[in-house]
Amino acid sequence: MKSVYFDSAATTQLRPEVIEKMTQVMHDCYGNASSTHSFGRNAKALVEQARKTVAKHLNVSASEIVFTSGGTEADNLALLSAVRDLGIKQIITSRIEHHAVLYTVQQLEREYGIAVKYVDLDKDGHVDYKHLEDLLQSSKKTLVSLMHVNNEIGNVLDIKRVGELCKANQAMFHSDTVQSVGHYTLDLQEIPIDFMAVSAHKFHGPKGVGFAFVRKNSGLKPLIFGGEQERGYRAGTEAVHNIVGLEEALKLAYDNLEEEKAYIIDLKKYFIQQLQANFPEVTFNGSCADFEKSSYTVLNVCLPIAPEKAPILLFQLDLKGIACSKGSACQSGSAKGSHVLSQILCDKDMQKPSLRFSFSKYNTKEEVDYVIEVLKEFV
């Protein structure tokens, strides 16, 4: 049986260079980065070098990078502290955000009584910027939280435009950039953003590590207490091997960005062509077939399959060795349908199976052909 992995939006395969680097650090540099002896100082030097590398790629100060356990923690850090410590009384977000944002915002609404406003979306799930501007006309101290690249349908937010709208209306801006860092260049001197969340395992780095970008002098305070690590933003012994793995993965992602982006774009175009040729009634959710409006790494497909066969499609693909997703991997254990697709699809289309295929440099056209053959057999 073949083994085909088209679920890189859930997590990516580790690059061999990253594994090698992490293994070397685990073997040679096992000191606690908070220790003052040479073992600790060596570990600390690796952490600080990684921080500088990350900062350089985003064009920010190293002091604005806080290593975390991943994107979810970084989202929670920004949102909770903004309400608890910065006096935010209103959050503007959308109904298709990652649950790391949506559930956190809902908890803050219950716990702190903040106002929550949801920006309108068009039929393809893109933010209505005029409505966002209208929502920003508020006397309440406001934070906007909108993701850069949607993890299910790949829609790309005009992050600079949103940042400028927030700045013009004295609002703070937080973005979950988990699906975009490592795939898009972001110059944070050009983009007025206050907080950002990132996960290493979305760009061929290790799981269990990410970072928050926290704009200098924002006033943000920690969620986790117990030590002075991460300049007091995040207590806990640093996972030096993971942080170095993140650094190596990020360097390689940006060193090879244009070449790998061109390869993946060609692969995604080929997948779209083959789907259309073999399934004339296929549709693409959101704007995922539009390379200007959607990420080149994500394709969300609504297949013309009878509703009674829909529940077993993902299972059948798995039996054939094909990994993809019916939505976010973070919710795949849930019986509920996709909260993202429910905002843009009619009831009839919600009954059809929608699959998210997400790509990386490790995929091939031969794998696409295999998926098409398996889908044809099933249909």
The secondary structure of 234-279, three-state, reads CCCCCCHHHHHHHHHHHHHHHHCHHHHHHHHHHHHHHHHHHHHHHC
pLDDT value at residue 335: 55
153, 106, 129, 135: which is closest to 289 by C-alpha?
A: 153
Predicted model pTM: 0.95
CA distance linking residue 288 with residue 177, whole number of Å: 17
> What CA–CA distance (Å, rounded) separates 285 from 298?
11
One-letter amino acid of 21: K
With beta carbons less than 8 A apart as the criterion, state whether 191 and 160 touch. yes
Given the candidates 2.60.40.420, 3.30.1490.20, 3.30.70.240, 3.90.1150.10, the CATH classification of the domain at 4-12+256-378 is 3.90.1150.10
pLDDT of residue 328: 44
DSSP state letter for 154: -
Position 311 scores a pLDDT of 82
How far are the Cα atoms of 11, 160, 277 from residue 203, in angstroms, in the given order?
8, 22, 31
pLDDT at residue 333, rounded to an integer: 47
Q: Known catalytic residue: 330?
A: yes
Residues of the chain with pLDDT under 70: 327-335
Long-range pairs for 33-38 at CB < 8 Å and ≥24 separation? 33/229, 33/237, 33/238, 33/240, 34/227, 34/228, 34/229, 34/237, 34/238
In this structure, what are the phi and psi dihedrals at residue 25, rounded to the nearest 5 degrees?
-65, -45
Are the C-beta atoms of 228 and 248 separated by less than 8 Å?
A: no
Q: What is the dihedral of CA 284, 286, 291, 297, to 10 degrees?
A: -80
Residue from 7, 9, 256 nearest 147 by CA: 9
149 has which bridge partners?
A: 156
User: Where are the chain's structural domains?
Assistant: 4-12+256-378, 16-255
Looking at 29, 302, 324, 330, which residue is catalytic?
330
CATH number for the region 16-255 comes to 3.40.640.10
Predicted confidence (pLDDT) per residue in 297-323, tens digit? 999 999 988 878 888 898 999 999 999
In one-letter notation, the amino acid at residue 254 is Y
Residue 348's pLDDT is 85
Q: Which residues of 282-301 are buried (b: 16+ CB within 10 A; e: fewer)?
A: bbbbbbbbeeebbbbbbbbb
The strands making up 210-214's β-sheet, listed across from edge to edge, are: 65-68, 210-214, 195-199, 172-176, 142-145, 90-93, 115-118
